[in-house]
Amino acid sequence: EELNNISPLRQLHLQRQRDFGGFSGPVPSFSTSQHLHDVDISGNSLTGAIPDDFMKVVRTSKAHSDYAYAKIDLSSNQITGSIPATFDDFVGLFINLAGNRISGVPDVLCDDDEEFMGGLVGNLTEHKCNAILCPPGTSSIIGRQSDMTNECTPCSGGTEQIRNKQAPFFGSLKCSPISGDRKVLEELHGLIFTGASEDTYWMSDNPICSWYGITCDDKKADTGVTQIKLESNSLSTDDSEKVTDLFFQLSDLERLNIRGNKGLSLKFDNVDFPERLTLLQVSATGLTSVAGIGKATSLKELHFTENDIAGPFLDEIFDLLSMERLYISFNKISGPLPTKIGLLTDLREFYAYTNEMTGIIPSELGNLANIENLVLGKNNFKGTLPASLNNLENLKEFSVYRNKALTGKVLDFSKATKLEKLDLEGNQFSGLLPNNFLGGLVETYTSNADNEIILHLADNQLVGTLPEGLADIKNLYLDIVGNKFQKIPQSFCKPSQSYWMSGKVGELDSCDAIACPQNRYSESGRISAADEECKRCGENEEAHSVGSYSCTKVDVEITALKKLYQDTIGDKWDSKDNWMDNSKPICSWFGVECSGGNQDNATITEINLPANSLDGTMPDMIFSLPALKTLNLKENSLFIPFDNIARAKTLETLYISDIDIVSIEGIGKAPALKELHLTANKITGEIPEDFYDLADTMEFLYIAYNSFSGPLSRKFGQFKNLKDFYAYDNEFTGPIPAEFAGLPNLRNLVLAENKFSGTISEDFSYMPQLSLFSAYRRLKAGPKLTGPLPSFSNVPKLEALYLDYNNLAGTIPPSFLKSSLSSKLRVTISHNLLSGKVPTELLSLNSLNIEMEGNKITQFDNRFCDNLSWMNGLVKDYDCDAFMCPPGFYGIYGRQNSTDSPCTRCDLSTNPTPYWGSISCDSVIDEKEILELLYNDCGGDDWHRNDNWLENDDICTWYGIECRDGNTVQAINLGANNLVGTPPGELFRLHQLHSLWLHSNPIDFRFKDIGDAKNLVELRLDSTGLSDIFGIGDATSLIKLDLKFNQISGAFPTELLKLDKLESLSLTDNNLSGGLPDFTSLDSLISLHLGSNRFSGEPTGFGGLKYLLNLDLSDNDLVGTIPKNFLRNISARKPIAVDLSSNNLSGGIPLELDRLEELVIYLRDNKFTELSPELCNEDNRDWNFDEVGMFGCDAIMCPPGKANYHGRHSAETSPCRKCASNTDLYGQITCDGEPVVKSSSTRLVRGFVGIVISSLFSGILWG
């Protein structure tokens, strides 16, 4: 279009450039060129339609010399559409459009333009438009009628339909016979090329044998397709059966290669294969079955690696008797390898790497006399190698890498004459290598330094010395580390072995490049660079074998394991095979892995005991294991001290999720830690300072589901190797540090459900490796992320972006996601404050699933709705509604994602919301009107405080109102403010309302429509006179609910058991009665207050609660004994307070509570008759705020014969006093029928306890 700026330009000739690359793209408009009169751009690759404003200034010029007798030649391009009717503005136009794909010539160009086409239009009496272009079904050598006699010639065929297929466009140069292969390829194009990366010449008039990926014997032919090669071309289909049938209708097809097209899975069960098909390459296409392949009997080469094929090896593959190359790696094929494999006697290459095959390796493989490559690595084969494999003379590569359970001796492979690679690594082969090992290799082959022979024998249990005969090999890569070889022959270390180990033996002039000698070690068992060394073992350490990864003290490792067993009640472990059995090597003990396999007795590299019922404290000597790389103790009732972690020199991976730790102080001393799993430990407080000492090594960090708080430190910017950081569901506050955006390797950053606020730095828009960014806030109240939405414009690998339920405002940037290359991009920016239009620049993305509902979006281009595959294909079913319901409509999700969630028209009389993506028909809510209603209905004039109410329009300045974005109500705190009457139900229409405090007011609160308050997480209605909570079960978002000091009566309200997000529930001081329910459904409960009611029955229903820290059942009518499973799932390490005082409980205190380390328990004024001394020993000294350590069992309950106001000894000045009338019961508070008088000091202690409990739990729950 820059040519438009050349004002004097009258002639432009750029024709016939296709052979040199040519011009492509849309036809230029030349709309502002003022004098252009002669244009020739023929013979290029221009596409699209001719613009309506083509040469507009020239056409509409008042100068006759401009608009008259123009010459335009656009022939032999790929132009589509109709000739614009605006060309009628020209006088005497001569235009050549032959050889394109023109679909129409307007009659207006032929009716009175007598001088068009050199006057031929005027001379013709009929078919005048033929002078411009021959119509479909006809042709001429120049694409039009050239004079009065040379007319357009009809194509052959009895019907117009047949003729039109031979010349389908205006201006055809010839009638092309319709080939069957062309029909097939054209139909395939429509089915699979929707998102293709390359489709040069497809659907053009060029011969199909010139189309991209198509090969024929004759390149200029339009039939005879012999090969299709369309690998990694982004092809996909929804009709696998049809596509498969079309491919195989090509009767001459010999080779089909569609590898790497993940959505192009074929189905072979109902097709007939071409007779000459010899190669089929369908790897990485999403294939789930090759059933039917047995009919392709001419196949010689079959590839279906990297697919999702599962189940037994398909028997019909053995019908392919001509098969020479079979590739089935990276699937999930299971069961045995059938013995029929021996029938494929032409087989030369068989790759079955990384499947799930089991059983023994069949001896019939020895029948494959032509086999050269036999790769069976990373399966689950077991047993010994069949001796028949020694018969394979042509074998070049054999691999059973990491099958782990293959045993027995290594074969000699002595008949193989030109073996290139033998990979037996990672099994349990044992014994000596045969003396004639590889004895059949021919001398001319082994003496040539260009022929590298690779032997991977590492990590087995081979012993003895290595065969001297290997020294005759000129270029050998000998991988023998991790075995039990005693020495390396001197003949392996001569100058003639300089090529060995890829030249490292010569370069380093040392056999250490093969393996470290005895009593020396390295991380890899050898050295590979001049600055590396095989280190000498330390004092009292040894390395028995060459190629050791570390030196060991066998007794240290055994001692450490035995102490782990003893300290964590090993007898109660779920699995403990071979543990403590001195006749079995420690490396065979359940969950223990060693570098030398399970028959070794040293060099522990992994301990894997997840979810195995370990209970106790891990001994710190575990961190002293010299070769330990992985420690997995997650999901146990286990405490781990980090005092000794600095000794864990090789520890790289630590799984300690969901165990009993409350702090990670000291973990920063770990010298080599790369991967740390800390999820679900409920750790509180800020991350300790020493943690940042892990910056140099940490790559994968998982701390989700804890209660870390405070700002997220900018020191994370030092973690340059960090790839994954998952911090979901913590209590971090403040801004998200921009330093994370500077981490060059970060792939996944998950910060959702914290309490971050402030803006997101635009620096996050420049992260080359980022795949996942998550910072949504669907549950938690408080300040949220604000400011503009970052563009994420230079994050090419982004696949998922979750920022919903924040306060991001402004418009969506035009450059949003512009560099994304993902074909499955998922974005949620819903329920923010975004406004304006959805930028049409997003249309350039390949695919997008984006949730935008719940914002203030006013414009949405209908072109988005043409992308039928977007929104996980929902656009195809629900059109634009799959994105957002339009203004005047609503849906339960603000969009339609199923037949049950349609967008429904609102009643226009209600003045519905004007925005896209509404979840209700409510008009734009006037929050000021709702608050005015609250003021008027609840006696606002008489409130104790009503500062600014009704006095200005800024509701965020009104007393008791907190806003999240300067104008949206987030919290109402009007407790103890003299509200009266019934608060209006319209309060629940404040959609961003998180917290509602109306406690200590004489109001008549109703729960009708509380389900509309989707974001309400905190509700305080204590001391309001409440007697009925009908409807509370709809408040499913609630986390904190306070209903104490009311008049609620009857059985426990079962509606409350529906509130499965509740963390705090208080019903203290009501009139509830009957038995206690099972609270298992409220599995998030941290605090439960049910004191001062009239509950009866036994104290059951709490065994399933895992996070409970505060339980008050005092002052009820509970009877029976405390169950043994009482609090069975509570962490032993975390502080818990339980108040069972003033009931009618009897019996003793279950010894199962002894495991709790920081229990505060009140038991006074019951009928207990037993208290085991085991509950009062040194292990329990921290109970009752260290009072058990000071006063023994009396700190729990005063014994029979004594009494105290608190029923226990709680201070130096408040001991248990003698009481002769109390002969049988523990924890009594009366003597001779009269209450024991409490002293002033007792009151002070009691007050202190209350303060401690309040600070301990209120801070956690009401923050």
Number of helices (H) and strands (E) in the chain: give both, helices first. Answer: 14, 77
The pLDDT of residue 546 is above 90: yes
Q: Which H, E and C letters describe 70-104, residue by residue?
A: CEEECCCCEEEEECCHHHHHCECCEEECCCCEEEE
CA distance 550 to 552: 6
Among 779, 780, 793, 788, smallest CA distance to 807 is for 788
- Beta strands 684-685 and 707-711, pairing class: parallel
Cβ neighbours around 148 below 10 Å, total: 11
First vs last C-alpha separation in the chain? 63
pLDDT attached to residue 415? 94
Burial 35-55 (b: 16+ CB within 10 A, else e): bbbebbbbbbbbeebbbeebb
The pLDDT of residue 484 is above 60: yes
How does residue 1238 score in pLDDT terms, banded at 50, 70 and 90?
low
pLDDT attached to residue 1114? 97
Average pLDDT, integer, range 1083-1108: 92
pLDDT attached to residue 897? 92
Check: CB of residue 882 under 8 Å from CB of residue 895.
Answer: yes
DSSP 444-499: HHHT-TT--EEEE--SSEEEEE--GGGGG-SSEEEE-TTSEEEE--GGGGSGGGTT
Tokens representing residue 509 in the block: 């002039």
pLDDT attached to residue 966? 67
Cβ neighbours around 424 below 10 Å, total: 25
Q: Is 1130 helix (H, G, I), strand (E, B) or coil?
A: coil
Instruction: Write the CB contacts of 253 (distance below 8 Å, at least 6 apart in sequence).
Output: 225, 226, 227, 228, 247, 274, 276, 277
The pLDDT of residue 1237 is above 80: no
SS3 content of the chain, % helix, strand, coil (to 5): 20, 20, 60
Check: CB of residue 1225 under 8 Å from CB of residue 1168.
Answer: yes
Q: Computed over its alpha carbons, how large is the radius of gyration of the chain?
A: 41
The pLDDT of residue 4 is above 90: no
What mean pLDDT value characterizes the chain?
Answer: 91
CA distance 743 to 266: 42
The pLDDT of residue 1260 is above 70: no
CA distance 231 to 468: 48
β-partners of residue 637 are: 615
Task: Tell me which of 96 and 1101 has the higher pLDDT.
Answer: 96
β-partners of residue 686 are: none
Q: φ and ψ at 875, to 5 degrees?
A: -60, -35
Average pLDDT, integer, range 1015-1031: 94
Helix axes 240-247, 180-192, angle to 10 degrees: 150
Amino acid letter, residue 245 = D
The CA–CA distances, whole Å, from 1262 to 733, 805, 1001, 1066, 1131 equal 16, 22, 19, 12, 22
CA distance 416 to 394: 6
How does residue 207 score in pLDDT terms, banded at 50, 70 and 90?
confident
Instruction: Write the CB contacts of 175 (distance below 8 Å, at least 6 apart in sequence).
Output: 138, 139, 153, 155, 156, 163, 166, 167
Write the pLDDT tens digit of every residue in 74-90: 999 999 999 999 998 88
Among 13, 53, 52, 12, smallest CA distance to 35 is for 12
Average pLDDT, integer, range 239-243: 95
Cβ neighbours around 4 below 10 Å, total: 16
Torsion of CA 206, 207, 211, 214, to 10 degrees: 180
pLDDT attached to residue 1263? 32
Residue 707: is it exposed, middle or buried by C-beta count within 10 angstroms (0-12/13-18/19+)? Answer: middle
The pLDDT of residue 1262 is above 50: no
Check: CB of residue 600 under 8 Å from CB of residue 587.
Answer: yes
CA distance 1112 to 1090: 6
Helix (H) or strand (E) holding 456: strand 453-456
Among 1181, 1172, 1173, 1241, smallest CA distance to 1205 is for 1241
pLDDT attached to residue 512? 95
The proportion of the chain whose per-residue pLDDT surpasses 90, expressed as a percent, equals 75
Write the pLDDT tens digit of every residue in 322-366: 999 999 999 999 999 999 999 999 999 999 999 999 999 999 999
Write the pLDDT tens digit of every residue in 629-659: 999 999 999 999 999 999 999 999 999 999 9
pLDDT attached to residue 16? 87
Sign of CA dihedral 890, 891, 894, 897: negative
pLDDT attached to residue 118? 86
Q: φ and ψ at 772, to 5 degrees?
A: -135, 130
CA distance 781 to 27: 56
Q: Is 889 helix (H, G, I), strand (E, B) or coil?
A: strand
pLDDT attached to residue 914? 87
Torsion of CA 32, 36, 37, 42, to 10 degrees: -90
pLDDT attached to residue 781? 64
Check: CB of residue 893 under 8 Å from CB of residue 901.
Answer: yes
pLDDT attached to residue 1014? 83
How does residue 772 score in pLDDT terms, banded at 50, 70 and 90?
very high
The pLDDT of residue 368 is above 90: yes
Among 1090, 1100, 1081, smallest CA distance to 1048 is for 1090
Check: CB of residue 748 under 8 Å from CB of residue 725.
Answer: yes
pLDDT attached to residue 22? 78
Tokens representing residue 696 in the block: 């140099």
pTM value is: 0.51
Instruction: Write the CB contacts of 899 (distance below 8 Å, at least 6 apart in sequence).
Output: none
How does residue 1259 score in pLDDT terms, banded at 50, 70 and 90?
very low
How does residue 846 score in pLDDT terms, banded at 50, 70 and 90?
confident
Longest dimension (CA), the chain: 137
Task: Tell me which of 278 and 45 has the higher pLDDT.
Answer: 278
Tokens representing residue 1110 in the block: 């505060």
